[in-house]
Every structure is written in C-alpha cells, then in structure tokens.
Structure 1
C-alpha cells in the first residue's frame, strides 16, 4: 500500500448555488506533504470537509489507510489530525486543563508530546484559551493534532495568523512529522512560500476542479513560463500549453515541458507563486 489517502471522482453540490466539486481525484503517498493551492472559494475546504465526513459528498470514493470511508465512520479519529482556520477550542480552559480533556478523547494521546510542543511554541500553560491571539490558537490546535498519534494531518490554513518565527517553528515540526515515511500531510495555505518550502507534491484547484497536480520538483524543473506575442504563441505545441495570461498582444504562458519550447522562446525564472497566478487568473492552454 503506497497511498495513505485516495480520492476518486469526488462530487459535492449545494442547493441554490452554482458552486460544487467536480470529479476531484488525487492521492497522497505515505511520507509526503501535499500542498493544496487555490483562491478563496476554490473548493479546498469543501474537499477537506468531504474527506473528513463533516460534509456529505454527493458521490465519489474516499479511501484512507487502505479502507473505504463511509458516512459515520469514527473509528479512525485517532489516525487523523485536523487543523482548520475556523476551529474553536474550549475558551474557558487553560492549556494545562485542555490536556486532561484530550486525554479522555484520544486513546493514543501523548501528554509528553503535547507539552513539548506547548513549550516549543511558547504558549502559556495557565492562561485561558479565550485570551489567546489567532496565532496562539493556531499553534495550540497544531499541538493537539500532533499529540494523539495521527498518521494523516489535514491542515486548512494552519499557518494563518502566525508571525515569521512562529511559521518557521510549525513548518519544522511538520517536516519532522513525515520523516519516518509512515505519515503524511494535506495542507492548504495562502502563504505560497510555506507551501514551496515544505511540500513535495502540489495540487491546484479552481472553481471546484483540479487544474494541475504534480510534484514540486517537476513543476520547478520541467515546467516553464515564457513570454510571447500571439504569433509565437501559435508555435508552442498544443500538448505542452497549460495556461496563459496577459493582453491580446502579449502573454505569459505556462508550459509542461520547457525543453519542447520553440527555439525562439525561452523559459524565464519563476516561483510557485507565478504558477499559481497563471493557473488561477489565466486561461487554460
């Protein structure tokens, strides 16, 4: 078994809305960190909620740890760690008292891991959670997710609200989490530098459809972005055109193989941010 999570043809619609997930299909190998990239409303949270069962899917198959997930399955709760930007913890409790609560909820709970992370994240043990800043609350949620023996982390904007130092601490912990190749992470973030730093696989989603999924190394080293006018655009082979963006007289073009560009065109230096902008704001090639 090579994949910790497999999603096949996932569909989800809403009443009185034109938005929906359309045939979402992807897999997450063991030992990988997958960056889930898209603008607000692209379908990231809906996909994650459908995987977790907090949203009821219309159709499709979700297989986790080799087992098909059905509505109402709760026996895998210890194996999944979840952090959502909108999560709310018991505000009237302190960090220390919360530990006693989670000790009763999770069978694999580790008090030692929890307090090690609390110390690493510089969180006060005896301050009520209701007094925490957004960044502190996110750190606490991450500490909880990492303290009950989870094999798969699903993180939706988990670095939101953190300063640069806090993000570095969290990203270091996440990289350590997958080091043994037995665990994986599905992570969305609007901070593309975080995704570029730690993800090895990337999934781009727009309007409930997946536009591109590939390894980060392939995108950075095989894909390319070139600039051209309409005449030169027509010389680019159809099979390598991924997306284009610009005016009627000049384009930025994302291609899947820069080595197949015509001799008159060259790929310019680019980042994952540049790829994201072309995919989200441009036209399909």
Structure 2
C-alpha cells in the first residue's frame, strides 16, 4: 500500500475518536510515562502492582508510581501475545487502532514479523512512524492513516488481527466483517476490551461515565460474540480478566496524574457491571 486513499471518517464514533485523539498533541505519553523505555501506550493494564511504591517518601513516591504504571501497561500486551500463541516471523499482523505504536512495536519485538497498524489519528500515526525509524524497524512496522472499519487492504492479507482496547470506537458488526475479510482462511483475531456485563447490567452508569470521558461507546459482551459469529469467525477462547484489571486503577488513583475516571472503572469492575475481556476467534477455512 504505497499510496493510501484520503482518510474518510465513516461514523459519529470515528468522528468523536478523531477529534479526541488527533487533537491531543500535547499528550504524547500515556500519563507522561512512555519515555522510560521508548514504548508509548494508549491502553491500560492487568495484574497486580508493587505495593511498596505507596510506602515511599513523597519525593520518590510519584515517580515510582508512574514508573510502575508504565511497566504494567507494557506487560499488558502479554494478554495478546499469550492468545496469539505461535506466530512465525513470516506472518503478518494487523493492529487495528494502533495509537502511538506501543502494541505494534511489542508484537514485532516478540515475533519478529511484519505488523501493520491502522489508526484514524494522523497525528498519532506520524508520531508512531518516527518511533519506528528510531527503533530501526520501519521496514517491518508500518502505520497507515486508515479506519479499522474500512482498511482498504486486499482480501486475505493478514494471518492475525488484534485490537487492544480500541473496539469501543467502532460499530462492531461492520468492523468484524472487515477483519474477517482481511484475514486469511484459518486466520485468528484477538480482542481485548472492557465491555458491559449483559447478565448484571447491560447499560451500567459506570460505562456511561467512561464513554463520556473518552468519547467512546462501551459495547455489551454479547454484542462482540454475536458480531464475531455473524462475521464468520468462531470464538474459541473467552477470558474474563476483570479482577486482574482492578489493581491498575487502584494504583492510578494514587497518582497526581489521575484524571478522575478511575472511580468509574473501579466501581464498574468491582460490581461486575463492567468487565474486562479477551476473546480469541478463528476465521473459517
């Protein structure tokens, strides 16, 4: 794809996401932490934190909290790596909603294969391309000014597709049809996202607060499962990671860089009204 078409924002969700992320030009780092090791993330984290950071003196505590959060954000990509399993260096991965490139770079680092990121934020893509040059992997890690709902790639272009906390910015049914189209027969798609727990509360107030804060739309869990099946992909692994997602927000609530949305995530996860899930699926052959 040497020449890319002009970016077309197809839905109100995409328009809101573009306005939110493309205008955050002073917010290059997720809570200002990315420069610690060169990885810049736009997602959150799973797993426990080192509780000793909360016991440090005030002059050391804030820096230690932020460093620990960034460590957790980097390790979060392991949730994708584990579900992808064995990926040969000849494979090709699509990172849909690639943000500032952190997930794409880590997947390339683990597997050594080509990774293409698509993202409607032209500014974030420019930032990610600069990082690819600095990391010496621009020949294998590419970032495209494209919508994940309409990627423009040919049919059966990818062995794997991943979304790391990005599907709340798209309409699931049309988007998953697009993923199925660009996947090769037998190819796999791994989704990581928060969602509404249909059984407990299909439309919880915590999700409303999250949606307002991030200009997104939290989907119901059943919506993802139905959309996958309708797109011709079979879910074969569904993991509830909600309990593991709580510590990150507990730690973040102690940071001076907290935004105020921490309590909505904590209340949603603790009540089981909002879930943090991983779904792995396979396209039919």
TM-score w.r.t. length of structure 2: 0.31
Q: Which has the higher helix share?
A: 2
TM-score w.r.t. length of structure 1: 0.31
Is the radius of gyration larger for structure 1 or structure 2? Answer: 1
